[in-house]
């Protein structure tokens, strides 16, 4: 039994970012009492240092680029982007890093907000240390949910501390445009921030250790995004690694590369991976390893913990380090906790089974580069490795789709559809080109719903939109089927 000064809640959530908020909202909808514990800003990484500020920085860059692709509009675009205006827009979207509105939302759903660093202190128990050093003890009747997210990983390189590199946080909250920026890493953060800061006026060099950009997507994605970056003026270098760094007395940083050359920059951004923020949340008190990813089942229950009281949603479970996927997991976890608390099975919910099935086969992702890149489901290689017999169809969007030609003069983009030949449904779709991120959800529905190809023929795309691409993909699939 908890002591008199130890508040009891049905559910305690560690982390009040978007994932934790979704857990709390679904648990409250089930009639459970909830405490949200947050050590930084309510709203989390996505709201203040990732998704929201990065897209606020990128949108003006892409908007200008889109205008320059249209005869009659490009003549109206003159002069550089107003960086101060872009930073002001970014600041508005992050509420000047003031979380009072988000805190009010927590209160509005009837959850308790507990500010401080939450650490597990045994089964169903959490200790919260406030900024003042004061501590409080919380007890959960049903569940504790870890939604603490992830942190950037910096490689162990000589001179890296001296170089004082940027991570995603500095890359999205800075209001000074560096003259020269070196971006190390060719994943989503690397290519997006190279796009944003080049558009804002930096001379950007992008260093990719591997053979291409965005290596987890179809190979043509990196080719087209790399070409777009180069056309913007980014110095894209692939197959190169950083050996060491130093920062001179005058403030400039120098990167020693493994090809023997040296690169000079005013700032260096490392976008080289993420690690779970679980090193200081008390995992050792329940027999788990601090700093580890938390392996979960499809209701986000942590498998290694008995009695099923510990859950983990979002980045910490390492299923898909994407905000929208974490929010989806949060909704599933909150609903599953509510069902179990009421003694109900989790596979008979009115809105479908409480299981994160999308994590396995229908994860969408979008990168706001120039051109944009978007994908859902399996790549061709992933599908083959999973044992599927596949048919692959590719369409050059600018050649085949009138809506694309109207969208941008000289539209350059490509789409790929991967189809299971045995079941005749779509396993994956990849899109590259201006504006393609807004078409991603149609592909996601096709993949998640396992819609048969012969039914997709009856989903008529509106002419003359870019989404007429779907008709061209189906025609390409029909033609490929006729010849095999």
Residues 6+ apart with CB under 8 A from 421: 388, 389, 390, 391
The DSSP letter of residue 284 is: G
Cβ(264)–Cβ(246) below 8 Å: no
Q: Is 150 annotated as a binding residue?
A: yes
What is the average pLDDT across 303-325? 97
Spatial distance between the Cα atoms of 293 and 160, rounded to a whole number of angstroms: 25
Nearest to 392 by CA among 427, 364, 423, 365: 427
Spatial distance between the Cα atoms of 425 and 446, rounded to a whole number of angstroms: 8
pLDDT bucket at 481, cuts 50 / 70 / 90: confident
Token pair 């599933």 is found at 332
Residue 76 phi/psi, 5-degree rounding, is: -85, -10
Q: Output the CA torsion sign for 326, 327, 328, 331.
A: positive
Let me know whether 142 and 159 are in one domain: no
Q: Is 187 annotated as a binding residue?
A: yes
Spatial distance between the Cα atoms of 426 and 424, rounded to a whole number of angstroms: 7
Q: Is 244 annotated as a binding residue?
A: no
pLDDT bucket at 7, cuts 50 / 70 / 90: confident
Angle at 191 between CA 188 and CA 195, to 5 degrees: 130
Token pair 């709203």 is found at 43
Domain final position from 242, 273, 304: 273
Q: Is 55 annotated as a binding residue?
A: yes
Residue 345: other Cβ atoms inside 10 A: 10
Q: What is the SS3 assignment for 167?
A: coil
Spatial distance between the Cα atoms of 357 and 346, rounded to a whole number of angstroms: 13
Let me know whether 320 and 464 are in one domain: no
Q: What is the mean pLDDT of the chain?
A: 95
Model pLDDT, residue 480:
86
What is the average pLDDT across 369-383? 98
pLDDT bucket at 4, cuts 50 / 70 / 90: very low
Cα of 135 vs its chain's centroid, Å: 33
Angle at 421 between CA 417 and CA 427, to 5 degrees: 40
Cβ(440)–Cβ(412) below 8 Å: no
pLDDT bucket at 305, cuts 50 / 70 / 90: very high
74 inside domain: no
Let me know whether 413 and 455 are in one domain: yes
Spatial distance between the Cα atoms of 54 and 279, rounded to a whole number of angstroms: 27
Let me know whether 212 and 265 are in one domain: yes
Q: Is 390 annotated as a binding residue?
A: no
Let me know whether 312 and 351 are in one domain: yes
447: domain CATH number is: 3.30.390.30
Q: Is 352 annotated as a binding residue?
A: no
Q: Is 315 annotated as a binding residue?
A: yes
Let me know whether 376 and 353 are in one domain: no
| Domains held by the chain: number | 3
Let me know whether 293 and 145 are in one domain: yes
Mind giving me the DSSP string for 5-67?
TS-EEEEEEE--SHHHHHHHHHHHHTT--EEEEESS-TTHHHHHHSHHHHHHHHHHHHHHHHH
2 inside domain: no
Model pLDDT, residue 349:
52
- Structure confidence by residue, pLDDT tens digits, 102-112: 999 999 999 99
For residue 371, give the H/E element and its range. Answer: none
What is the average pLDDT across 313-339? 97
What is the average pLDDT across 403-411? 97
pLDDT bucket at 140, cuts 50 / 70 / 90: very high
Domain final position from 243, 273, 303: 273
- Structure confidence by residue, pLDDT tens digits, 432-445: 999 999 999 999 99
Model pLDDT, residue 484:
66
Domain final position from 336, 358, 380: 358
pLDDT bucket at 3, cuts 50 / 70 / 90: very low
Percent of the chain's residues with pLDDT above 70: 97
Model pLDDT, residue 68:
95
For residue 207, give the H/E element and its range. Answer: strand 203-208
Let me know whether 266 and 281 are in one domain: no
What is the average pLDDT across 253-277? 97
13 inside domain: yes
What is the average pLDDT across 149-177? 97
Let me know whether 232 and 329 are in one domain: no
Model pLDDT, residue 462:
96
Let me know whether 214 and 105 are in one domain: no
Let me know whether 190 and 264 are in one domain: yes
Model pLDDT, residue 1:
36
Spatial distance between the Cα atoms of 313 and 228, rounded to a whole number of angstroms: 35
The counts of H helices and E strands in the chain are 17, 21
Model pLDDT, residue 170:
97
Per DSSP, helices labelled H in 140-249 are 160-163, 168-173, 188-199, 219-232
Q: Is 191 annotated as a binding residue?
A: yes
- Structure confidence by residue, pLDDT tens digits, 346-374: 865 545 567 898 999 999 999 999 999 99
Let me know whether 213 and 160 are in one domain: yes
What are the C-alpha distances in Å from 453 to residues 400, 421, 436, 457, 459?
20, 10, 21, 7, 10
What is the average pLDDT across 69-83? 95
Query: Domain of 471?
Result: 371-479
Whether the per-residue pLDDT at 428 is higher than 70: the answer is yes
Residue 176: other Cβ atoms inside 10 A: 8
What is the average pLDDT across 306-335? 97
Whether the per-residue pLDDT at 250 is higher than 80: the answer is no
Cβ(145)–Cβ(12) below 8 Å: yes
60 inside domain: no
What is the average pLDDT across 176-205? 98
Whether the per-residue pLDDT at 422 is higher than 80: the answer is yes
Model pLDDT, residue 352:
52
197: domain CATH number is: 3.50.50.60
Model pLDDT, residue 348:
54
Q: Is 401 annotated as a binding residue?
A: no
453 inside domain: yes
What is the average pLDDT across 203-231? 97
What is the average pLDDT across 471-482? 92
Residues 6+ apart with CB under 8 A from 225: 191, 213, 214, 367, 369, 371, 373, 432
Q: Is 188 annotated as a binding residue?
A: yes
Nearest to 465 by CA among 405, 379, 395: 405
pLDDT bucket at 242, cuts 50 / 70 / 90: very high
Q: Is 282 annotated as a binding residue?
A: no
Percent of the chain's residues with pLDDT above 90: 93
């Amino acid at each position: 039994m908890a002591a008199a000064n130890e508040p009891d809640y049905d559910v305690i959530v560690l982390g009040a970012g978007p994932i934790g908020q979704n857990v709390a909202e679904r648990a409250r909808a089930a009639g459970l009492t909830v405490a949200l514990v947050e050590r930084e800003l309510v709203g989390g990484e996505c709201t203040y240092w990732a998704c929201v500020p990065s897209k606020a920085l990128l949108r003006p860059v892409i908007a200008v680029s889109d205008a320059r692709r249209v005869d009659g509009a490009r003549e109206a675009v003159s002069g550089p982007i107003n960086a101060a205006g872009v930073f002001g827009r970014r600041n508005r979207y992050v509420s000047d890093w003031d979380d009072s509105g988000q805190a009010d939302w927590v209160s509005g759903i009837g959850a308790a907000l507990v500010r401080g660093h939450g650490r597990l202190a045994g089964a169903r128990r959490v200790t919260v240390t406030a900024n003042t050093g004061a501590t409080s003890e919380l007890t959960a009747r049903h569940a504790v949910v870890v939604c603490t997210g992830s942190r950037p990983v910096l490689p162990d390189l000589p001179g890296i501390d001296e170089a004082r590199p940027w991570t995603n946080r500095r890359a999205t909250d800075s209001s000074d445009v560096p003259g020269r920026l070196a971006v190390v890493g060719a994943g989503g953060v690397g290519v997006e921030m190279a796009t944003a800061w080049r558009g804002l006026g930096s001379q950007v060099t992008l260093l990719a250790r591997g053979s291409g950009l965005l290596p987890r997507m179809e190979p043509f994605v990196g080719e087209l995004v790399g070409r777009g970056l180069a056309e913007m003026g980014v110095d894209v270098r692939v197959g190169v690694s950083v050996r060491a760094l130093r920062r001179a007395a005058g403030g400039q940083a120098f990167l020693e590369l493994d090809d023997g050359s040296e690169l000079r920059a005013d700032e260096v951004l490392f976008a080289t991976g993420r690690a779970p923020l679980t090193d200081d949340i008390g995992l050792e008190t329940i027999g788990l390893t601090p700093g580890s990813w938390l392996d979960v089942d499809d209701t986000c229950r942590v498998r290694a913990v008995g009695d099923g009281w510990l859950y983990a949603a979002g980045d910490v479970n390492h299923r898909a380090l994407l905000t929208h996927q974490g929010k989806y997991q949060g909704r599933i976890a909150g609903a599953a906790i509510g069902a179990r608390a009421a003694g109900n099975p989790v596979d008979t919910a009115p809105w479908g089974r409480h299981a994160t099935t999308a994590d396995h086969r229908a994860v969408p992702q979008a990168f706001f580069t120039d051109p944009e890149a978007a994908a859902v489901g399996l790549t061709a290689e992933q599908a083959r490795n999973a044992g599927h017999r596949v048919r692959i169809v590719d369409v050059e969007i600018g050649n085949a789709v009138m809506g694309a030609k109207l969208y941008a003069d000289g539209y350059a983009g490509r789409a790929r559809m991967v189809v299971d030949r045995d079941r005749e449904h779509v396993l994956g779709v990849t899109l590259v080109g201006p504006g393609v991120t807004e078409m991603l959800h149609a592909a996601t529905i096709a993949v998640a719903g396992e819609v048969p190809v012969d039914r997709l023929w009856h989903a008529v795309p509106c002419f003359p939109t870019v989404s007429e691409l779907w008709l061209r993909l189906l025609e390409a699939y029909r033609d490929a089927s006729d010849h095999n």
